[in-house]
Structure 1
Amino acid sequence: ENKDSRMRVAVLTLSDKASIGQRKDESGPLIEKIMTEHGYNVTSVTVIADDENEIVSQLINLSDRCQNDLILTTGGTGLSIRDVTPEATMKVMTRNVPGISEALRYESMKYTNKAMLSRGVSVLRNQTLIINLPGSPKAVKESLDIILGPLKHGLEIMKGEASECARK
């Protein structure tokens, strides 16, 4: 049995408009493209509405049943009343991983001071890392540029594949 050893990534786009076809989802496919280029196995790209219960059930399914190592969400992290991605993500977490989202906000401030308005969170649900990315394709690309380096190491630690943390 030739098991694919690449890290498994699910992409979840949260958008009322994209979920009913009023707007094309550009961020989800962009995440898929970038992650595939970096050697990840993208298992799914799903678009759903900004509904907290639906997001919760998708996150649980993608982590527990589908056993993805990583779930990248895009959208629903702002100040609008419909932006409930962080709340849904916090509901499914077993452990918090605040540094990723802190770094995203800090580094993104170099591109736009609106980055401080992002409420995105990063958490673990058992053996799955869940990271909320912003909704716009431009912000998605900038965010992935920021996290892709340390991300691989973090996932290897999570899976018990890396033990040596000392800087060379």
Structure 2
Amino acid sequence: MGAAIVTISTSKAAGEGEDESGAQLAALAERIGVEIAGRELIADDRGAIEACLRRWVATEGCALVLTSGGTGLAPSDVTPEATRAVIERDAPGIAEAMRAASRAHTRHWMLSRGVAGVAGTTLIVNFPGSPRSIAQAGEAIAEALPHALELLTGGVSAH
């Protein structure tokens, strides 16, 4: 079972600075026992994001796609819209848990529009772009992710 890490940042895609967010997401995937199937760094472009997500959903063995960036209110923040175009079923509790965890650390927690959902047997989760926010959100959902992946891939029966 593998995970794709997708960093969505126009500046990072243009070579400005290190991809700390992608590294943070990769560490989360490894922590929950999922090997990294690949990492991508793409600009804030809805079509490019949708195409990237669809490629990973179609990749055999990719059970998890973790994205960072593009979840705020700026006009270029289109990750949630691109994700909604790909997912077939919402998993709202995941995004809600991430926002709830952020509430203890920032007054701007409610500005995050990240979503989570399922396409086929792949779980897609949008994280904020900040490495610190990724760590906080990841801590909130890390325990539930392995069980979610087991349910999606048939490792355990539904309740």
Q: Shared fold by TM > 0.5? A: yes
Cα distance, 1:164 vs structure 2? 6.4
| 1:84-103 CA-partner distances (Å, limit 9, x unpaired) | 00000000111111110011
Cα distance, 1:133 vs structure 2? 0.4
Bigger relative CO (Cα 8 Å, ≥ 6 apart): 2
Q: Secondary structure at the match of 1:149?
A: coil
CA distance in 1 between counterparts of 2:158 and 2:43 reads 41
AA aligned to 1:144 is G
Q: Give unmatched runs, 5+ long, in structure 2.
A: none
Look up the match of 1:68: 62
Q: Are residue 137 (structure 1) and residue 131 (structure 2) matched? A: yes
Q: Secondary structure at the match of 1:44?
A: strand
Higher mean Cα deviation, 104-113 or 81-90?
A: 104-113
Q: TM-score, normalised by structure 1?
A: 0.90
Q: Are residue 48 (structure 1) and residue 48 (structure 2) matched? A: no
Indicate which of 132, 139, 143 corresponds to 1:149: 143
Higher mean Cα deviation, 47-56 or 26-35?
A: 26-35
Look up the match of 1:85: 79
Higher mean Cα deviation, 53-62 or 28-37?
A: 28-37
Map 1:1-168 to 2 at 5 A: 7-163=1-157, 165=159
Q: Is the contact between residue 32 and residue 146 of structure 2 (CA under 8 Å) also seen in structure 1?
A: no
Higher mean Cα deviation, 22-31 or 76-85?
A: 22-31
Q: Is the contact between residue 9 and residue 43 of structure 2 (CA under 8 Å) also seen in structure 1?
A: yes
Q: Give unmatched runs, 5+ long, in structure 1.
A: 1-6
AA aligned to 1:59 is L
Structure whose alpha-carbon radius of gyration is higher = 1
Change (3 A) 1:37 1:100: closer
Q: Secondary structure at the match of 2:66?
A: strand
Percent sequence identity over aligned pairs: 39
CA RMSD of aligned residues (A): 1.2
Q: Is the contact between residue 97 and residue 137 of structure 2 (CA under 8 Å) also seen in structure 1?
A: no
Q: Secondary structure at the match of 1:69?
A: strand
CA distance in 1 between counterparts of 2:76 and 2:136 reads 24
Q: Is the contact between residue 77 and residue 134 of structure 1 (CA under 8 Å) also seen in structure 2?
A: yes
Look up the match of 1:4: none
CA distance in 2 between counterparts of 1:26 and 1:18 reads 10
